[in-house]
């Protein structure tokens, strides 16, 4: 039996958000910052939508995010109906490839991986007022991208 990916993005606090990935064998947890990669959340949702679109999906997408001073690349590779998710950590914003370290890797079904991300975004969306998302993340919740992703994942069945 394949392991199931679990994704957690906890409520932001003071421009920081705790995120985690776990699959029963491996896990990775860190905090990420709202800046300088201010478009990380909407871009992540756009990448997930693109991955679900078999007609136009690229083979690979890379999302840049940071913890300050560390930087991360979230690499998504589509292989037919599967996704390889790799998270690389760089020690600084210089992003020198020889210095990067693979800190997490997961391979699973395309829809299952996207569903794991959907669950955590749906929770962030549901709790956004209680958690004062905009105030604590220092930027607005990505409503349009979330609604697009929600629509895409509900209509695409793999």
Residue 1: pLDDT over 60: no
**Contact assessment for residue 107 and residue 82, using Cβ atoms and an 8 Å cutoff:** yes
* CB-facing half-sphere around the CA of 120: CA atoms within 13 A: 22
**86 φψ region: left (φ > 0), alpha (ψ -120 to 50), beta (else):** beta
Q: What's the pTM value of the predicted model, to 2 decimals?
A: 0.93
For 73-115, the pLDDT digits (tens) are 999 999 989 999 999 999 988 888 889 999 999 999 999 999 9
Domains and CATH numbers, the chain: 6-155 (3.30.2450)
Selection from 60, 74, 61 nearest residue 19 by Cα: 74
């Amino acid at each position: 039996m394949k392991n199931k990916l679990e994704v957690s993005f906890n409520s932001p606090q003071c421009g920081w958000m705790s995120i985690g990935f776990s699959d029963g064998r491996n896990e990775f947890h860190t905090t990420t910052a709202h800046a300088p990669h201010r478009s990380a959340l909407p871009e992540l949702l756009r990448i997930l939508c693109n991955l679900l679109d078999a007609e136009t999906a690229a083979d690979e997408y890379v999302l840049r995010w940071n913890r300050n001073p560390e930087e991360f690349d979230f690499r998504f590779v589509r292989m037919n109906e599967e996704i390889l998710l790799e998270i690389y950590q760089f020690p600084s914003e210089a992003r020198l490839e020889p210095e990067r370290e693979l800190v997490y890797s997961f391979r699973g079904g395309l829809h299952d991986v996207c569903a794991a991300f959907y669950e955590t975004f749906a929770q962030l969306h549901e709790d956004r007022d209680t958690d004062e998302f905009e105030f604590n993340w220092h930027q607005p919740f990505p409503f349009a991208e979330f609604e697009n992703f929600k629509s895409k994942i509900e209509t695409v069945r793999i």
